Amino acid sequence: MFETLYRYSQVLVRHLEGPAAEERDRFVTDFVESGAARESALHLASELLLVAQRLDVGGAKAISAREIAAAADRWVRHQQRRGRIRTSHFSRRRFVQVATDWLRFLGRLEIVPATPLAGANFVSEFAAFMRLERGLSPHTIHNRCWHVQEFLRWLDEQQCSVDAVSLEQVDAFLTMRGAQGWRRISIATAAGALRTFFAHMAARGLCSDGFAGGIEGPRLFKHEALPVGPRWEDAQRLIACTDTDRPKDIRDRAILLLLTVYGLRCGEVVALTLDDVAWDRDILHVPRPKQRCKQDYPLTTDIGNAILRYVQQVRPAGDSRRLFLTIKAPIRPLAASSLHYLVAPRMRALDIHCPRQGPHALRHACATHLVAEGLSLKQIGDHLGHRSPDATRTYAKVDLVGLRQVADFSLGALL
């Protein structure tokens, strides 16, 4: 496979004479046969050579995750000393991921039996309670269970069981989160999840009735956070920059329009299927996970043309019914997290300044624009798919245009 990938003799020799060449070649070959593009295979082969040079794969001994992490740390320090990287996060994660996948492929990865999480049965029952009795959305259930699992894992490290927990320990856990850099809203969310969990435990007689009420997070003030989206003019510039014939721009233009015009969430965009576009009626069916239904939007001319161009010219053929797929092999549906890397680099390139540079910022831009256009909060809430009017009122907190008009108004004649 290396002979196929590399055209320059010196590069080819480096890969052929490097450590574990035959094992690396087999892994890259399997990667290409799975449908990966040549460019992806080149990146993998280069990273594999680094892994093989810094990780002793000789012999038949299984290699543990701890050894992989130590090798990754050495590689990152080596890169930092030479000023080749500014942040270690991506380089370390890439090294660990490639090494783990390669060793698993070779059957050389040490598999450590996962120890069951203390109180896992309580978390399962808590999730069932939220789903069956409270009727909460899967997203909300997942988030609350994650916070509870993290607390129980920390509690296990303190050698304490869930039935012997104290409020002081809950406070210590939340304080630790603050020391790790969590913001007040995130800590308050964790406190709310733990409050709900221990209220459920109290209802089952597994803790005292007043325990949940004693859990306090940071105090939050109503409507304290301001919308953090870009200006509408900047959002339009962002969309305009995709007006090219490049396949990635054609796909991204359709996504950016959905994020900006309809104010869709990331999960709602990637969940769209080919069947959600009703071309005969010019309707777009948008999945709303919180409402457990689909909301119909009129398919505007610009968005309809952008989606149609993407489907006809760019979208890879395949069995998947998801609307948005990756451009390069292996072809798979886009993940919600990938939309951040679709939006943020473009915003930075266009020098668009706002507190958060990601796809959700475009939802804020949409809502703020609708407020400026004079739509009622009810209309804006319906457009954004809000279940509660409280979620919409945040966009009415500061009307900058109105404040500027007040500032320009002279009171001199009245004084």
DSSP 294: E
Tell me the Cα Rg of the chain: 26
Whether the per-residue pLDDT at 171 is higher than 90: the answer is yes
Q: Which CATH class is domain 120-214?
A: mainly alpha
Return the number of other C-beta atoms located less than 10 Å from residue 27's C-beta: 22
306-316 pLDDT, tens digit each: 999 999 999 98
Tell which wins on pLDDT, 356 or 199. Answer: 199
Catalytic residue among 26, 340, 360, 393: 360
Across 355-368, average pLDDT: 85
DSSP per-residue string spanning 172-212: HHHHHHHHTT--HHHHHHHHHHHHHHHHHHHHTTSS-TTTG
The average pLDDT across 112-137 equals 82
| More confident of the two residues 113 and 322 | 322
Cβ atoms of residues 36 and 329 within 8 Å: yes
Catalytic residue, from 177, 200, 363, 383: name it. Answer: 363
Describe the strand order of the beta sheet including 293-298 as a list of residue ranges: 277-278, 283-288, 293-298
The C-alpha atoms of residue 184 and residue 156 are separated, in whole angstroms, by 25
Task: Identify whether 363 is a catalytic site residue.
Answer: yes
Alpha carbon separation from 201 to 119, 173, 352 (Å, rounded) = 12, 19, 47
| CATH 1.10.150.130 in the chain, residue ranges | 120-214
The DSSP letter of residue 63 is B
Measure the CA–CA gap between 213 and 169, rounded to whole angstroms: 15
The pLDDT of residue 36 is: 77
| Partners of 296 in beta bridges | 285
User: Does residue 398 have a pLDDT over 70?
Assistant: no
- Higher-confidence position of 173 and 222: 173
Evaluate if residue 113 carries a pLDDT over 90: no
Q: pLDDT value at position 115?
A: 65
197: pLDDT strictly greater than 70: yes
Provide mean pLDDT across the span 142-151: 93
Residue 401 pLDDT class (50, 70, 90 cuts):
very low
Instruction: Specify the range with the lowest mean pLDDT, choosing from 15-19, 57-61, 394-398.
Output: 394-398
* Catalytic residue (choose from 92, 290, 309, 340): 290
Instruction: Go through 170-180 and write b for each residue having 16 or more CB atoms within 10 A of its CB, e for each that does not.
Output: beebbeebeee
Class of domain 232-402: mainly alpha
More confident residue, 281 or 161: 281
Active site residue 204: no
Listed in order, strand segments (DSSP E) in 174-307 are 277-278, 283-288, 293-298
Output the six-digit token pair for 193. 């999840």
Catalytic residue check, 290: yes
Q: Considering the candidates 265, 315, 364, 369, report the single residue annotated as catalytic.
A: 265
pLDDT of residue 33: 84
Clarify whether 395 is annotated catalytic: yes
With beta carbons less than 8 A apart as the criterion, state whether 322 and 273 touch: yes
**pLDDT number for residue 407:** 40
**CATH 1.10.443.10 residue spans of the chain:** 232-402
- pLDDT per position as a tens digit, 377-396: 778 777 877 766 666 666 55
Q: pLDDT by residue (tens digit) across 199-255?
A: 999 998 888 888 999 999 888 765 555 557 788 899 999 999 999 999 999 999 999
Specify whether 265 is catalytic. Answer: yes
| Mean pLDDT score, 25-40 | 85
Catalytic choice (262, 297, 310, 395): 395
pLDDT band at residue 184 using 50, 70 and 90 as cut-offs: confident
| Average pLDDT of span 26-35 | 86
The pLDDT of residue 291: 64
Q: Are strands 277-278 and 293-298 parallel, antiparallel or unpaired?
A: unpaired
| pLDDT for 222 | 58
> How many other C-beta atoms lie within 10 A of the C-beta of residue 266?
22
- Report the greatest alpha carbon distance in the chain: 91
pTM: 0.64
Residue 282 and residue 304 in contact, taking contact as beta carbons nearer than 8 Å: yes
Please confirm, yes or no, whether 15 is among the known catalytic residues. no
